[in-house]
Structure 1
Amino acid sequence: MPRLADKRRAILRGALTVFAREGYTRASIDQIAREAGVSTRTIYNHVADKSALFETVIQESAARVAEAQVEAMDRHLGGAVPDLREALVAFARDHARPTDADHFALVRQIQAEVGHIPEAALDSWQDTGPRRVQRAVEAHLARFMAEGRLRTADPHRAARHLVLLAAGEVTSRSFHGALPLPAKEVDAIVEDGVEVFLRAYAP
C-alpha cells in the first residue's frame, strides 16, 4: 500500500507541475508520466483520463491552499480581536500574497483557457477552494456584525467587498503572484482597502 500511495503522490505532483506549466489543453498524459517518473499505464491505473486527473489535481491543490488561507484567517480574525482594523489588515496582507507558486500558476492557466476545461473540474475547484475561503470570511464578518463592530449587512456581499478592496488590486496586478509587487506597495494597497471597507461598514 505505501508504494501505491507514493506513486499516486508522484503522479499528482507531476500533473500539477505539467498542468501549471502547459495548461490543460497542451498538457499530455505522456508529459505527466515523464515528470512523475512513472509509465502512462501506471497513470491510467489511477485515473480514467486527463480530465479526471486534472479534476483531482485542482481539487487537492485548492484544498491545500484553502486550508492554509482559512488557518491564517482564523489566526487574525478568530477569538478575541482587540483592534478590528489591525486584524483585517493582517488578514488581507496574508490573503494578498499567494505562497503556493504551483497552485497559482495553475489558476492562471485555468483563467486563460476556461472555455476548454471540463465544467466538473471548474466546479470542484471553486467548491474546494475559493468558495470555502469566501464562506470563512463571511462567517468572521457575520460575527463582527452580530457584535456590533460592523453594521448589519449581507455577510456574503461584505466579504466580497473586503477581499476586492483590500487584496483584489494586488492579485490582479501581480497576476496571482507571478509578478510580485514591492512589499511597501502591497501594504499601502491593503491598508487603504481596509480603510475604505471600514468606512462603508462602520456601525
Structure 2
Amino acid sequence: MTSERTKTARPRGGLADKRRAILAGALTVFARDGYTRAGIDAIAAAAGVSTRTIYNHFTDKTELFQTVIQESAGRAAEAQIAVIDRHLRKITDLEADLIEFGRALARPTTAEHAEHFALVRQVNAEAGHIPQAVIDAWQETGPLRVRRELAGHLRQWVDRGLLRVHDPDRAALHLMLLISAGNPAHRTGVPDERELDETVTSGVRAFLHGYLR
C-alpha cells in the first residue's frame, strides 16, 4: 500500500514542479521579449520542458501569459503592501514618513521583482496587442490591490485632519505616480539612488502641495 501511494504521489509532485518551471521560464521570456514576440518554443527551452508539456498545462500562450502576470503581480503586490503597512501604519512626520515610504517602495521593485517590472514595461509597450481581459485581471491582482491598500491609509489621515482628500482612491493613484514616474529602474531596471531620492522627494512634496490640509 505504501509503495502504491508513493507512486501516485510522485506524478502529482512532478506535475507541480513542471508547472512551476513553466511559469518561471515564461516569466523570463515574456519579460525579455514581450507578449507578442515570445514563442512557446523559447518558453519551453527556458523552462527545460517540451512544448507538449506546456500545452498539457495551458491551453495557449494567452492563458499562460495571464497566469504568469497574475502570479507575478500577486507576489509584487504582497511585497508592496508589506512596505505600505510597515511605513505608513504610524505617521509622526507626514512628509518625512512619506519620503521614507517612497524610497522603500521603489527598492523591492528593482531587486526581488525585477523580472515582474520588466514584464510590466513590456505590457505597457504593447498593451494594444494583449487581450483586455488579461490586462484587467493583472490590474486587479496587482496595481489596483496596492492602490486600495494605500487609499485606506489616506482615509485615516483625512479622518485625523492631516490631509484634504475628496477621493482617496484617486489620491492614492496620484501619490503612486508622483513617487515613481521618474524612477530610472522603472525604465531600465537599473536603480539609481540619487535620482530615486530626488524623484521620491519632489513627488511627495508635489502630492502634499495638492492634498495637505
Whole-Å separation in 1 of the counterparts to 2:67 and 2:43: 14
2-side partners of 1:66 and 1:119: how far apart?
20
**Contact (CA 8 Å) 2:121, 2:187: kept in 1 or not?**
no
Cα distance in structure 1, aligned partners of 2:192 and 2:34: 28
For 2:102 and 2:182, how far apart are their aligned partners in 1?
11
Structure 1: distance between partners of 2:37 and 2:202: 40
Q: Which is further off, 159-168 or 179-188?
A: 179-188
Task: Give TM-score, length-normalised by structure 1.
Answer: 0.91
Higher relative contact order (CA 8 A, sep 6+): 1
Q: How many residues align?
A: 199
Instruction: Give 1:61 deviation, angstroms.
Output: 0.5
Identical columns (%): 56
| Residue identity opposite 2:202 in structure 1 | D
Partners of 1:104 and 1:176 within 8 A in 2: yes
Counterpart residue number, 1:76:
87
Shift of 1:182: 2.9
Q: Once superposed, what is the RMSD of the aligned Cα atoms?
A: 1.6
TM-score of the superposition, structure 2-length normalised?
0.87
Unaligned runs of 5+ in 2: 1-11
1:92 is aligned, of 89, 92, 102, to 102
8 Å CA contact 1:95–1:167 kept in 2: the answer is: no
Alignment deviations for residues 46-96 of structure 1 (CA, whole Å, 9 cap, x no partner): 111111000000100011101100111110001x32222222111211233
The answer on 1:117 being equivalent to 2:130 is: yes
1:176 alignment partner, SS class = helix
Are 1:10 and 2:15 counterparts? no
**Cα separation, partners in 2 of 1:76 and 1:132, compared to 1, 3 Å:** same
Measure, in 2, the Cα distance between the counterparts of 1:45 and 1:121: 21
Aligned pair in 2 of structure 1 residues 111, 175: CA closer, same or farther (>3 Å)?
Answer: farther
User: In 2, Cα distance between the equivalents of 1:30 and 1:6?
Assistant: 19
Q: State the one-letter code of the partner of 1:163.
A: M
- Aligned pair partner of 2:207 in 173, 197, 200: 197
Whole-angstrom distance in 1 between the partners of 2:165 and 2:126: 39
Structure with bigger gyration radius: 2
Counterpart AA for 2:16: A
Partner residue of 1:42 out of 48, 53, 65: 53
The aligned amino acid for 1:49 is: D
Are 1:96 and 1:168, in contact at CA under 8 Å, matched by a contact in 2? no
Specify whether residues 59 and 191 from structure 1 end up closer, same or farther in structure 2 by C-alpha distance, changes over 3 A only.
same
Shift of 1:179: 5.2
CA distance in 2, matches of 1:161, 1:24: 28
Task: Give, in angstroms, the shift of residue 33 of structure 1.
Answer: 0.9
